[in-house]
Structure 1
Amino acid sequence: MRTLPPYPSLRHFLKWCEETGQFRRIAEPVSVRHQMTAVHRAVLEANGPVLQFDTPTGVPSGQCDIPVVVNLFGTSERVAAGLGVSSDGLDDLGAFLAALRAPTPPGRLRDALSRWPMLKAALSTRPKQVKAAAVQQVCNCEADVDLSALPIQTHWPRDAGPLITWPVVITRPRGSEPDAAQTYNAGVYRVQVLDRNRLIMRWLPHRGGAAHHRSWAQHGEKTPVAIVLGANPATLLSAALPLPEMVSELTFAGALNQNRPRLVPAKSVPLLVPADAEIVLEGWVSPSETAPEGPFGDHTGYYNPAEPFPVMHVTAVTHCEAPLYLSTYTGRPPDEPAIIGEVFNRLALPTIRAQIPEIHDLWLPPAACSYRIAIVAIDKRYPGQARRVMMALWGMLPQFSYTKMIVAVDADIDPRNWDDIAWALATRMDPGRDVMILDRTPMDYLDFASPEPGLAGKLGIDATTKTGSETGREWGTVMRTEKVDHAFAEDLIDRLMPELRT
C-alpha cells in the first residue's frame, strides 16, 4: 500500500520536502504575533512550500531560538505523501480504510494471500516501547515549566492569546493500563495558553479526548494528558482521520508507516508518548476547573465566542536537542485543514460507497468550510432515490450530521465542477418539487446562521434527471458531440490554433 519511504519523524518528512523542492527556510526575523500567519496564508494560497522561520520574534519570554515550521500540509500532494502514497495511491488507501470498517472473510487461498499486505499493516500497529528517546533529551519539570519560552503563535488580531494549533493530544480512559496503547485516543484539538504552566483544552463533547476526560472526572479524578508537538506525519494525519472507534490513532500510524510506532513512558504522567517527536507537554486536566477559552479565529472565517473548557496543569515539558515547533493557522478556507479535508474526502469515498453503493462520486467543497455543503453524484435508477441517498448520508457518519446542504446530481455531472452543478440545478431541479427541508437537526454550534446553538435545518436539493412517477412530462435528451476521429481532430486543432498546444 505504501509507495514512499517511511518517515519516522517530522525531520525525515522535512528532508523529503527539501529534496523535492518543497521546503524553504526564512532567516529574517518574523513575529509569532500575526506576521507568521500573514506570510503562511499568502504562501499556502500560492500552493507554496513548507516554511521554516528560523528567527521567531514576539515570544513573551523575549527571545526564542526554536524554529517554527508551517504549511506542512499546504498541498494535497504533501498530504498524500504524509500518508505514504502519491496522489494516485489514495484510492487504494481509501479501500484499506473501508476494509477496516467492514472486513470481509477471504473465500479461498488466493484471496487470503491477497490480504497479506493488510495483515502486515495490522501487525505493524503493535507499539514498540523504548526506555530512552530523543524527545526526552531535555526535560523541564514542575517549577521549571515555562510555556512562554515556546514560539506559540497568536494568529488573528482579536485572538485571546497564543494558541497551539497542531497538537496531537494523547489520552486514555480511566481503568486502562498506561502501556495499553490500543486504548489511547490521539486527537487534534485547539489548546490555548493560559499562563506559564496552564493550558485550556477545547474538547467538544463528541470527541474522544472529551469522552476519556469524562471517564476520569465522573470519579473526581484528574486526567493524564500528553500533548505532542511535531509528531511524524503518519501520527499527525492519523490523529485527524475519522477512524473507526476500535482503532487507536497511535497504533494506526504504525500501519501507515509500515513500522511499529516507537513509544516511551512520559516523565510525569502515566502515558506513553511518541519517542521521535520534537516536543511533548505533559500534565493533568482538572475534573472540575474550567476557564473561558477564546475568542479565536475559526475555520468558519469568524471569531468564535469565549466558552468554558477544562484547564490542564503542565507538569513537564520535554524535547529533543534544538527542537522544531510545528504550527498552522485556522481560518476561512483555504487553510491546511481544508486541504487535508479534500484528501480525506477522497479516502472516505470507498467507505461511503460500501454503505450507499449507488454513489458515483462525492465532493465537499473546501470553500464551504469542508463539510457544510456536499455534492453527491449518483447512478439514478428509480424515483425518490436522490432523497434516500441524501438522508442516508446525513445519518451515516458523524461528520455528515453537520452538513447543512446536499445537492444530488446524476453520474454524468462532475460534482467538482461548479458549472456542471449550476447546469444541473438550472435544468433538472424544480424548487416546488425537488427541495427537501428538515428542521431541528444536529449542527456545529459554531455555525452562527443556526437559530439555536447545536440545532439547525438541513436542505436537500434533487438536481437529478426525473424518472417514473417523479414527473408527468417527457424528459429531454442531453445533447452530446458526435464521436470523431481523434487524430483528425487533433491535427486540425494544431493547424488552426497552435497556441493551444503551447
Structure 2
Amino acid sequence: MKADAPIPRHFGNLQDFVALLERRARLKRICEPVSLVHEITEIHRRVLAEDGPALLFERPVDGKGRVQPIPLLTNLFGTRERIEWGFGLETGRLPHLAALLADLREPQPPRSMRDAWQKLPNLRAALSMNPRETRRPPCQEIVWRGDDANLDDLPIQTCWPGEPAPLVSWPLVITRAPDDPADVNVGIYRMQKLGRNRLIMRWLAHRGGARHHRLWKALGQHMPVAVVIGADPATILSAVMPLPDGMSELSFAGVLKGRRQETARGVTIPTPVPASAEIVLEGTVSAVETAEEGPYGDHTGYYNSVEPFPVMKLTAITMRKNPLYLSTYTGRPPDEPSRLGEAMGELFVPLVKRQFPEILDLWLPPEACSYRAMIVSIDKRYPGQARRIMMGLWSMLPQFSYTKLIIAVDGDIDVKSWRDVIWALSTRFDASRDVMLVENTPIDYLDFASPKSGLGGKLGLDATTKIGTEVGRDWGQVLTMTPEVTAGVDALWSSLGLGEAGR
C-alpha cells in the first residue's frame, strides 16, 4: 500500500495498523534501551503533548536491568487522527460513526426508498455482528501453560514514582456470565502485577466485568477470564465506546470492520478471545481472594487510595509469533485516555439529540477528566428548559451520571470555546437565580473531593438567555453587524492590504 492510499476499513491485526502508521510517518521506532520504570512514561508524556507519533520501544529494560525480547508499543491513539484511522475512517469522518452508533442504539424506520438505501450499510453492519470461531488462531501460535506462564517475561511498565509494582495498563478483559455464553463483556481494567502468575483485577462495581464476577461468586466458583494485550484497532476501540446495553464489544468490532469478528476459544478456559490478538493472559478471578491494590497514578492527576480487589491467577499465556506489547500511562490530561475520551465524546452527540432534539451541541472537556464537566448548547424555547435538559442528561446515560458540572448555553455559543462560555456565564448567569444544586447523587468513587465515597453533589449553571417568567426586566441585545456591511467589507478586504487574517 502506498503512503497516500485510502485507509482500509479493516485491519487484520494490530501489526497491520502499526505498518500503516509507519508508512504514513506516524510511528517512531526507539532502538535505544529505555527503562520500563518511569522512563517510557516520561517519553510518552512529552511526545503526546506535542501530538507526536506512536512509539515502538524495541529494547525495553525491566527493573532488574534485563532487556525484554517483546517490543512495547505506546501512544497508539495519542491523536484524533490515529483514532479515526483505527476506526477505519479517513481524517474528519468520526461524525459518520456517531450517526451509525445512534442508529444501532435507536433504529429509525426509513422515511422513503432513498432513505432505505442510505440505511442499507447499517443493515449490513448489523449482519456483521456475530463472531465466528476459528480453530487455529494466530494468538495461540505460542503457548505457555502452568508454571511456564510467567509475567516476568512481559515488558510490563511501572509508570509513576511511588507505585508498588508494574501495571498492565491497556488490557482488554473478557468475561462472560456463568449461565449465558452469549453474555460476553470486554472492559479495560488496570491490573497490578502481584508475582510471576498473579495479578489484581481492579474494576468499578458498575462495570460489566464486576457484574459477571458477582454472578460467578454467587455460585461459589472462580470466574474464567481472558486478558488481551494488543488487538486489531477496531476491537480495542470497541472496548472504550459508549455501546448500547447488551451489545457485545466483540460483536461491535465486526460492525466497525464490516466483517464478522474471528474469535478463538482459550486453551485453558472457555472464554472467547480475538483470534488475531498479540498476547492473551488466561486464568481465573478468585471468588474469595483479594489483595490491596495501589496507589497508582490515575486520569485525575492524583494517586488513588489503596483498596482491596479480587486476584487473578494465570493458567496460560498465549501469543502470536513476534508479538507487540501494547501499553500506556494514565495521568493528568492530556494523556492517551483523555484523547480517546475526547473523541468518544463526539459519539454521544447524535444519541442525546435524539433524546432531546433541542440540544444543538455538547462538549465534555478532556481537561475535566473527560466526563466530570459538560457544556451543552440548546435551542431555548420556554422557561426552565435549561434545567430540564440538565436533569435529563444526568439520568440519560451511565457515563453522564458521574458528571459533576453542567453549563447550559444558547446556540450562539461555541461549547468548545472557553472565551464564549465564560462570556455567557458573565452576561447571562446570575448566582441567585441560575444555580441548580443536586445533593447525594452517584459520583465516581475515585473523586476524593466528594464528601463521601461514591456519593456527592452535582451543579448546574444556566447561562442561557432568560425568557418569559425567568426574568422581570428588559434583556440585553447582542451586538451584531448588519449582513450588508459584512458583505461589503468582505468584497473590499483584498484591496486594503491588511492580510488574510481579517478575511
TM-score, normalised to structure 1, is 0.96
Partner Cα distance (1:172, 1:13) in 2: 28
- Specify every segment of 5 or more residues in structure 1 that has no aligned partner in the other structure, as ranges: none
Partner Cα distance (1:482, 1:14) in 2: 52
Alpha-carbon spacing, 1:145–1:407, altered in 2? closer, same or farther (3 Å): same
Partner Cα distance (2:500, 2:417) in 1: 25
User: Higher mean Cα deviation, 200-209 or 492-501?
Assistant: 492-501
Please provide the CA RMSD for this pair.
Answer: 1.7
Partner Cα distance (2:52, 2:11) in 1: 21
**2:68 counterpart residue number:** 64
Secondary structure of residue in 1 paired with 2:194: strand
Shift of 1:53: 0.5
Shift of 1:493: 5.4
**1:295 to 2:300 alignment:** no
**1:458 counterpart residue number:** 458
Counterpart amino acid of 1:35?
Answer: E
Shift of 1:498: 3.1
**2:104 counterpart residue number:** 100
Partner Cα distance (1:476, 1:500) in 2: 30
**1:358 to 2:358 alignment:** yes
Shift of 1:501: 9.0
**1:163 counterpart residue number:** 167
For these two proteins, the number of residue pairs brought into alignment is: 497
**1:415 counterpart residue number:** 415
Shift of 1:68: 0.6
**1:148 counterpart residue number:** 152
Secondary structure of residue in 1 paired with 2:441: strand
CA contact (8 A) 1:59 1:149 kept: no
Partner Cα distance (1:412, 1:87) in 2: 27
CA contact (8 A) 2:9 2:89 kept: no
CA contact (8 A) 1:170 1:226 kept: yes
CA contact (8 A) 1:59 1:150 kept: no
Secondary structure of residue in 1 paired with 2:239: helix
Counterpart amino acid of 1:191?
Answer: M
User: Which of the numbers 174, 179, 185 marks the counterpart of 1:175?
Assistant: 179
TM-superposition CA deviations, 1:9-50 (whole Å, max 9, x none): 111111121122211101011100000000000000000000
Secondary structure of residue in 2 paired with 1:462: strand
Partner Cα distance (1:88, 1:3) in 2: 12
**1:497 counterpart residue number:** 498
**2:3 counterpart residue number:** none
Partner Cα distance (1:499, 1:169) in 2: 52
Partner Cα distance (1:248, 1:5) in 2: 20
**2:396 counterpart residue number:** 396
Shift of 1:322: 1.4
Partner Cα distance (1:305, 1:325) in 2: 27
Shift of 1:486: 4.8
Secondary structure of residue in 2 paired with 1:88: coil
User: Higher mean Cα deviation, 273-282 or 127-136?
Assistant: 127-136
**1:247 to 2:235 alignment:** no
TM-score, normalised to structure 2, is 0.96
**1:132 to 2:133 alignment:** no
**1:10 counterpart residue number:** 14
**1:118 to 2:122 alignment:** yes
Counterpart amino acid of 1:28?
Answer: E
Secondary structure of residue in 2 paired with 1:374: strand
Shift of 1:454: 0.5
**1:91 counterpart residue number:** 95
CA contact (8 A) 2:33 2:67 kept: no
Shift of 1:107: 4.8
Secondary structure of residue in 1 paired with 2:200: strand
Shift of 1:456: 0.6
Shift of 1:160: 1.7
Partner Cα distance (2:287, 2:457) in 1: 34
